[in-house]
Amino acid sequence: MTRNEAQLRRELIDAVPVLRRFAYSLARNAADADDLVQSTIERVLAKGAPDDAVLIKWMCRICRNLWIDIIRAKKTRQDAEPEITALSSERPLPDRETGDRQLLAKTASAIDALPDQYREVLSMIVIGGTSYREAAETLGVPVGTVMSRLARARAALAEAVQYHD
């Protein structure tokens, strides 16, 4: 069914909560996540979305591509200007770390430490609701690779945070 403009705007608004989480899982700070969400919405408004696409999945895909572009650009800048590599990893959650908050902070560090390729596949599946097959297509890897990256990412988080303690 073809979306009209009003439907598209409504769906875009509805998609923001999930998309914001997805963007944050990739960018790892709130400001960059919001920039990604905004750019994604603007991209969809400008170019539309396939009628048969599930909008949130389509947006997650665009969001990821934008994030990849940013990473590449950042890498180029870092290569050119080594002094800007010491970016602080801004956390939305500050101090007062007790109990759950300590666990949350520990988890945040573990997520930060995940290599991008593991974090992105975990985000795509767990936050973006992408299927294994869709993730494999997007990433250009076999489904088996998606599965093993997911397992490694989960195992690495479990190892780092020691949830079983």
Residues that bind another protein (CB under 8 A): 6, 9-10, 12-14, 16-18, 20-21, 24-25, 30-31, 33-35, 37-38, 41-42, 92-94, 96, 101, 103-104, 107-108, 111, 114-115, 118, 122-123, 125-127, 131-132, 147-148, 150-159, 161, 163-164
**Nearest CB to another protein, comparing residues 76 and 112:** 112
Q: C-alpha angle with apex 41: 30 to 117, nearest 5 degrees?
A: 55
Radius of gyration of the chain (CA): 17
CB of 61 to another protein, least distance (A): 18
Contact 82/142 with Cβ under 8 angstroms?
no
**Nearest CB to another protein, comparing residues 82 and 94:** 94
**Nearest CB to another protein, comparing residues 4 and 82:** 4
CB of 52 to another protein, least distance (A): 18
Q: Give the DSSP letter of residue 76.
A: H
110 residue type, one letter: A
Cα–Cα distance for residue pair 11/3, rounded to 1 Å: 10
C-alpha distances (whole Å) from 74 to each of 54, 70, 106, 119 are: 30, 6, 26, 18
CB of 65 to another protein, least distance (A): 18
CB of 64 to another protein, least distance (A): 15
Cα–Cα distance for residue pair 103/145, rounded to 1 Å: 29
